[in-house]
């Protein structure tokens, strides 16, 4: 019963793998540094990664809304089912048409499936591309004054691990959010309160954001993709709290304030 966790060193995949390992289950990490390696950009690595696998957590890097994602997920899903994978859990976006296309591929695969829809991770502030801006005290993003129900990656991992190993989740679409809505300015205020340091949000244009991100070392394609997500998805379509976490786990979703307090040392270092 080997479980393949794609993105096994990423924000959610790492946590999913830890949950499964803690339960004593055999886990295979799907990453370029693993043995055997897995690389979304190199399909010749896929068969070895799928050998003997019965369930898989499918997390596409960098995002399902990026060009090429749908074709890759469709090809991987077909290969996985032919290789004997019986259960698929897809990490999806929340509101992007490109993500919905990948969802349909998994839903029509013939395997047991669960879709986990998520918006912006809280951990983007502590582990991702917003970490250094928080440390510097200025979060400059091309985001309007639109609220987002930031979701904790630990909640995502809990739901994914349950869907991979327990009955009752097949055929479910879980919309995962935090318990309340926050704008990026309000999130910055929460970070200020948790760290005792001033953290402010500054809105910039997409062009300004891309230029600054590339100057900081982010590949241009990834920077442009992030800018598109900010301008395309943060338009109010996801400005609502969903019940995915309590429906899947029977407990409330984690709140941003608790996340900020727990991670305060990360931003002070």
Quick: pLDDT tens for 81-104: 999 999 999 999 987 888 999 999
Find the mean pLDDT for residues 99-121: 96
Taking 90 as the threshold, does the pLDDT of residue 222 lie above it?
A: no
Query: Are residues 189 and 154 in contact, defined by beta-carbon separation less than 8 angstroms?
Result: no
> Torsion angle, CA of 56/28/123/266, rounded to 10 degrees?
170
CA separation, residue 66 to residues 78, 157, 213, 229 (Å): 20, 22, 17, 9
User: What pTM value is reported for the model?
Assistant: 0.94
Structure tokens at 225: 């993709």
More confident residue, 67 or 198: 198
User: What domains sit in the chain, N to C, each tagged with a CATH number?
Assistant: 2-119+150-177+238-254 (3.40.50.720)
Predicted local confidence at residue 218, as pLDDT: 85
């Amino acid at each position: 019963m080997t479980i393949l966790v794609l993105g096994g060193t990423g924000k959610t995949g790492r946590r999913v793998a830890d949950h499964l390992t803690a339960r004593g289950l055999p886990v295979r990490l799907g990453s370029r540094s693993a043995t055997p390696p897995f690389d979304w950009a190199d399909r010749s690595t896929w068969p070895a990664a799928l050998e003997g696998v019965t369930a898989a957590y499918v997390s596409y890097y960098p995002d399902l809304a990026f060009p090429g994602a749908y074709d890759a997920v469709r090809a991987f899903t077909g290969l996985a089912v032919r290789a004997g994978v019986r259960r698929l859990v897809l990490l999806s976006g929340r509101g992007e048409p490109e993500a919905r296309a990948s969802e349909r591929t998994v839903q029509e695969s013939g395997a047991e499936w669960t879709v986990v829809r998520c918006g912006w991770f809280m951990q983007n502030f502590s582990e991702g591309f917003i970490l250094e801006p928080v440390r510097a005290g200025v979060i400059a993003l091309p985001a309007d004054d639109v609220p987002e129900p930031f979701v904790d990656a630990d909640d995502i991992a809990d739901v994914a691990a349950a869907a991979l190993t327990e009955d009752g989740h097949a055929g479910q679409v879980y919309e995962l959010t935090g318990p309340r809505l926050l704008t990026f300015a309000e999130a910055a205020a929460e970070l200020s309160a948790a760290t005792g340091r001033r953290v402010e949000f500054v809105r910039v244009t997409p062009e300004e954001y891309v230029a600054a991100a590339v100057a900081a070392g982010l590949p241009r394609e990834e920077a442009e993709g992030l800018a598109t997500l900010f301008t395309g998805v943060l338009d109010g379509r996801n400005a609502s709290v969903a019940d995915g976490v309590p429906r899947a786990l029977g407990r409330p979703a984690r709140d941003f304030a608790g996340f900020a307090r727990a991670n305060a040392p990360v931003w002070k270092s």
